[in-house]
Amino acid sequence: MFGSLTKKFQELSVALSREKVLTEKNISEAVRTVRLALLDADVGYSVVSDFVKKVKEKALGSVSVKGVTAGDQFIKVVHEELVSLMGSEESSLQLKKPVAKILLCGLQGSGKTTHAAKLAKMLKEKFSKNPLLVALDLQRPAAILQLETLGKLIGVPVFTIPGEKNPLVVAKQVLKEGGYDLLIFDTAGRLHVDEALMDELLHIKKIVEPDEVLFIANSAAGQDAVKTAKEFDCRIGITGSILTMLDGSTRAGAALSIREITGKPLLYEGIGEKVDDFRLFNPISMADRILGMGDIINLVKKAEEQFSQEENDDLEKKLRKSTFTFDDYLKQMKMIRKMGSIKGLLKMMPGMGDLPDIDQSEKEFARIESMILSMTQGERNCKDELVPSRRRRIAKGSGTSMDEVNKLVKGFKQLLKFAKLMPGLKKKFSHEEASSLFSKR
């Protein structure tokens, strides 16, 4: 996702792993690399300056732990600060009124209409809401049609007044509608922030009195998206942001600085054009992805949703009792593969960050499969430890490299560690626990 930034962090971790302890000198060098990497990823200057200052102070104050490399220790600090920069915890919508109202705003093409539908679908399915989509982008007839098509797809009605060109009239009228407990307003976008747009939004906001005003931020726009968010916040007052287009060639600028600059939470992320390509924004998971740890939290969540309860119970028991083996890992991967969207899911596995296409994902899966199949039964059952000579044999047998075998074993161990945290994972997944992944692998 954040290819070059992730690569730089990984290179830094490797470089630092040669050092026994963190010293003022190697910290200063590492901090300089972090600064350049973040600036290059289009993170705002002031955010970067604050960030590296905190990382430096924390790294200098950290006590070295036996068995932990300087690289792991430093990356752990970076991880903690990334999480904190993005808001520490998942945020939720504050929908308090009996008829809740969400107003979406943002520049042209940022994903407002698509995300109005994604939000409606999610709130309907997961929170049993009865939503009504309201078309307030009345400049182009195609805009209403787009919302209506999406509405049909997700089974949510769309409110329009045929022939009406004034969004304020529609906004006033829809408030008289009964039978819904949630109104989601899709508004018009502009190429740039301009007076007419801000005036229109301000008027709509006054009429609607929304519970939430969400800024739809196109993550591909990097710093520009952050600046625009700030302008929208100053002019109309936003309550949070949704980060879209995270599936494309995106830079980390928006993800890392939008919350810090606006002071408003990042609530959701859009990861594709389809109505289900949508999930809660999780700062820990995002930090994992930025550092190239693989998105284990989302993997576990998605797996939990989709596995049959029986299969899930069985795997969870094994995971918790630490009797989960490479054979189970293979079985789990096969199940995941069955669930479809192998690309999206594989991306979440540790060490599989940047997969250019589905064929590539299939290839990655085949490599993992051949590595596991090249193990002896004892190795697959985790009875025999995978010492270097064994790893070398596995690499040779599967036509892969030592590096790849090491990556597989590391990913497997991370999965086991996360699994132990699973009972409280959804709600209580603490920062410390996530960070401990770095310290004892």
Ligand X SMILES: Nc1nc2c(ncn2[C@@H]2O[C@H](COP(=O)(O)OP(=O)(O)OP(=O)(O)O)[C@@H](O)[C@H]2O)c(=O)[nH]1
Residue numbers at the binding site for ligand X (CB under 6 A): 106, 108-114, 137, 143, 189, 216, 244-245, 247-248, 270-273, 277
Picked from Mg ion, ligand X, none, the partner binding residue 111 (CB below 5 to 8 A depending on kind) is ligand X
Considering beta carbons, is residue 78 or 170 the nearer one to Mg ion? 170
> Residue 213: phi, psi to the nearest 5?
-115, 105
Considering beta carbons, is residue 292 or 344 the nearer one to ligand X? 344
Considering beta carbons, is residue 192 or 420 the nearer one to Mg ion? 192
Picked from Mg ion, ligand X, none, the partner binding residue 250 (CB below 5 to 8 A depending on kind) is none
Q: How far is the CB of 227 from ligand X (least distance, A)?
A: 17
Strands 278-280 and 266-270: antiparallel
Name the residue with the smallest CB distance to ligand X: 189
Is the backbone of residue 210 left (phi > 0), alpha (psi -120 to 50) or beta?
beta
Q: How far is the CB of 272 from ligand X (least distance, A)?
A: 5
Considering beta carbons, is residue 24 or 231 the nearer one to ligand X? 231
Picked from Mg ion, ligand X, none, the partner binding residue 237 (CB below 5 to 8 A depending on kind) is none
Distance between CA atoms of 225 and 248, rounded to whole angstroms? 15
Q: How far is the CB of 204 from Mg ion (least distance, A)?
A: 14
Q: How far is the CB of 3 from ligand X (least distance, A)?
A: 16
Q: How far is the CB of 250 from Mg ion (least distance, A)?
A: 20
Considering beta carbons, is residue 154 or 335 the nearer one to Mg ion? 154
Picked from Mg ion, ligand X, none, the partner binding residue 350 (CB below 5 to 8 A depending on kind) is none
Q: How far is CA 260 from the centre of its chain?
A: 17
Distance between CA atoms of 367 and 351, rounded to whole angstroms? 13
DSSP characters for 114-137? HHHHHHHHHHHHHH---EEEEE--
Picked from ligand X, Mg ion, none, the partner binding residue 3 (CB below 5 to 8 A depending on kind) is none
Considering beta carbons, is residue 274 or 420 the nearer one to ligand X? 274
Buried b / exposed e along 315-325 (16+ C-beta atoms within 10 A): bbeebeeeebb
- Expressed in percent and rounded to 5, the helix, strand and coil fractions of the chain are 60, 10, 30
- In sequence order, what E strands does 253-318 have? 266-270, 278-280
Distance between CA atoms of 298 and 71, rounded to whole angstroms? 25
Q: How far is the CB of 115 from Mg ion (least distance, A)?
A: 9
Q: How far is the CB of 274 from ligand X (least distance, A)?
A: 8
Considering beta carbons, is residue 47 or 197 the nearer one to ligand X? 197
Picked from Mg ion, ligand X, none, the partner binding residue 157 (CB below 5 to 8 A depending on kind) is none
Residue 244: enclosing H or E segment and its boundaries? Answer: strand 240-244
Distance between CA atoms of 55 and 308, rounded to whole angstroms? 42
Picked from ligand X, Mg ion, none, the partner binding residue 114 (CB below 5 to 8 A depending on kind) is ligand X
Considering beta carbons, is residue 8 or 112 the nearer one to ligand X? 112
Considering beta carbons, is residue 71 or 111 the nearer one to ligand X? 111
Nearest in space to 236 (alpha carbons), one of 216, 268, 213, 209: 213
Picked from Mg ion, ligand X, none, the partner binding residue 125 (CB below 5 to 8 A depending on kind) is none
Cβ partners under 8 Å of residue 333, min gap 6: 365, 368, 369
Sheet arrangement for strand 266-270: 158-159, 131-135, 182-186, 100-105, 212-218, 240-244, 266-270, 278-280
Picked from Mg ion, ligand X, none, the partner binding residue 223 (CB below 5 to 8 A depending on kind) is none
- Both tokens of 290, joined, read 């930025």
Cβ partners under 8 Å of residue 261, min gap 6: 44, 47, 226, 229, 230
Q: How far is the CB of 113 from ligand X (least distance, A)?
A: 3
Instruction: Name the site residues for Mg ion (rule: CB under 5 A).
Output: 112-113
Q: How far is the CB of 117 from ligand X (least distance, A)?
A: 8
